[in-house]
Amino acid sequence: MTEEIPVIPKVSNLVVHSGNIVNWNRLKRHPNHGATAEIAECIDASLKGFLETADKTALQYETNLECRCTKFIEPLPAEERGDLKVTVKVFLCKSLPPVTIKEGIEKVLAELNITFIETVLLALPELEEEEKDLSLSVIQPYWKLLEEMVEEEKVLSLGIADLDKEQLEELYNWAKIKPGINQVNLESCCFMPKHLQEYAKQNDIQLLSHNDARDVLPNQRLCDIIKNNTTKKDSDSWEMLWVMRYSVLIKCRGIIKTKAYITKCGRDTKRGK
């Protein structure tokens, strides 16, 4: 492809569906990939596959693009639903209106052809430099939206990532639907703080460890992936907006049947003109 002719000049929103990466041979060769490497691989492979067969003329006029690895997308059979547990971790990559995470969760429901998700975990973005701590006021709008989805019976339980004891206590005391899980990044704190363990035990909150980066896919890496599949001009100014990582567990066997990512990124196509 030539630099002179942009491939996706008007696209300002790009959604990528990886499908079930449990079945991706290229990822099976790297079983210890973290989330960042997996997401990068998913966007790269999905975009490459989509562009190979896309109508290049039509792409010149597209403003919203949705790339799906259709051969790996696997709706859940209705007769098996009772034997399966679906968990979604929502990575919010920048401050956005709460409705944006509902958009992502709805895409998971549609992709799996299900009516509810057992657990949704919320991971908020890194704080701006001038902010020291994640405050309850930042969490509240997103939590309220998730509570609405619980009331609509689209989600059964809620969890959150990376709260210390004081933050978790604030959320628990305020929330109508209490967090049942708090994920702790052991790379940043090495061990579960004792006072956090005690508080979680008293309030029936599961503490689970994780190693997901807060900046789950840096914007520069995203731009590089898009540039490698299109042109340099096509790759300008992209930002990650959100990532939905969903997994499907076979309850009685403890086996992961499905693991997949749905990602959304955006840009202002008028910037720099």
Q: How many other β-carbons are positioned within 10 Å of the β-carbon of residue 62?
A: 17
Torsion from C-alpha of 166, 167, 170, 174, nearest 10 degrees:
-160
| Cα–Cα distance list, 226 to 14, 70, 143, 235 (Å) | 10, 20, 32, 5
- State yes or no: pLDDT of 1 exceeds 50: no
Neighbours of 64 (CB within 10 A): 11
* Residue boundaries of the structural domains of the chain: 13-266
Q: Looking at the predicted structure, is the pLDDT value of residue 271 above 60?
A: no
Please answer whether residues 77 and 28 qualify as being in contact, where contact means their C-beta atoms are separated by less than 8 angstroms. Answer: no
- The model carries a pTM of 0.92
Sheet architecture: strand order including 64-68: 64-68, 13-17, 255-266, 239-250, 84-92, 117-123, 155-161, 181-185, 206-210
Alpha-carbon torsion angle 191, 194, 195, 198, nearest 10 = 120
pLDDT digits 0-9 by tens, 229-264: 999 999 999 999 999 999 999 998 889 999 999 999
Average pLDDT, the chain: 90
Residue 32 pLDDT = 56
pLDDT of residue 273: 44
The partner residues of 208 in beta bridges, in order of sequence, read 183
